[in-house]
Amino acid sequence: MDDIEIYEYRRLDLRDSFIIDGFPSVGLVSTITASYIVAALDMELIGVMDSVYFPTVSVIRDGEPHHPVRFYAGDLEGPDGDWTRLVVFLSEFQPPSNLIKLICTSVLDWAEEQKCSCLISPEGLVIEGENNQPLPVPEGNGNGEEEKIAPVTEMHAPPPSIEKTVYGLSSTGSGKDRLQKSKIPIFPEGLISGIPGVLLNEGKKRNFEVTCLLAEARDNIPDARAAARIIEQLRSIIPYLEIDLAPLYAEADLLEAKMRGYQKISKPGGKKTIPSPSMYG
């Protein structure tokens, strides 16, 4: 497409590959999921998505400049010499509504051209905080600057659970079969907007398998625990995906402990400025 282009640094055979979408979502679940997988598997940067409408920024990691929308690839090896190729799209910027359809159609055009197997979109479902009270929204980052963490999607979920239930749905029968074999409950009813909603609709129209995994998450903090729960389910869907989730769960514990402290100081008589989380914030 003229408005959005995909540049490949390295051309690979991606036939039957699995793709993971990592654009920001509720609780930054998709971005945390994608970035953790890329780091844990030491995946190779193979290309970027570009547009004149994208933000004019460079993401600097380890002294190297990176495009705000990029994609990585890596091979997952099985015990008998079998292997699965995985592709992960990763982005730190929240696309405006007028670009969402263009981004989704560009990704799916590319996926079909590469003859990939399916696309998986990890997302967050909005839940309320402890005791059914919304968690406080951070007012600042301790430096007098306003902190904003805005979700790109709104979804209506079944009642929240402590274990952060992961639900799934797919655009095709084959995708639904994958979910059922993995014993992932089907998301029964509601609204899914933004990138996952468009991907599902476009996937159904093309008969291309788009599967969405939805984890209960808080939308006003980076929810690493929800991302970890989704990766647990991804391990049952994507062959040979083995990732140690202990560091991610440890970070989730730290974030939740901080938020409990934030709730205390946000009560009358407490401090009004809430420090930002140490990771993903």
The segments of the chain whose pLDDT lies below 50 read 1, 129-162, 266, 270-281
DSSP 8-state assignment for residue 25 = -
Distances, alpha carbon 210 to alpha carbons 120, 132, 266, in Å: 6, 33, 41
Q: Residue 222 and residue 281: Cα distance in Å, rounded? A: 7
On whether residue 203 sits in a domain, the answer given is: yes
On whether residue 278 sits in a domain, the answer given is: no
pLDDT at 150: 35
On whether residue 181 sits in a domain, the answer given is: yes
Residue 221 three-state SS: coil
pLDDT at 149: 33
Supply the angle between the helices 194-206 and 97-113 in degrees, to the nearest 10. 40
On whether residue 271 sits in a domain, the answer given is: no
CATH code assigned at 241? 3.40.50.10900
On whether residue 272 sits in a domain, the answer given is: no
pLDDT at 270: 46
On whether residue 76 sits in a domain, the answer given is: yes
* The total number of structural domains that make up the chain: 1
Supply the angle between the helices 224-237 and 246-265 in degrees, to the nearest 10. 150
On whether residue 270 sits in a domain, the answer given is: no
Domain that holds residue 85: 5-265
pLDDT at 127: 63
Spatial CA neighbour of 209 closest among 117, 86, 121, 122: 117
On whether residue 165 sits in a domain, the answer given is: yes
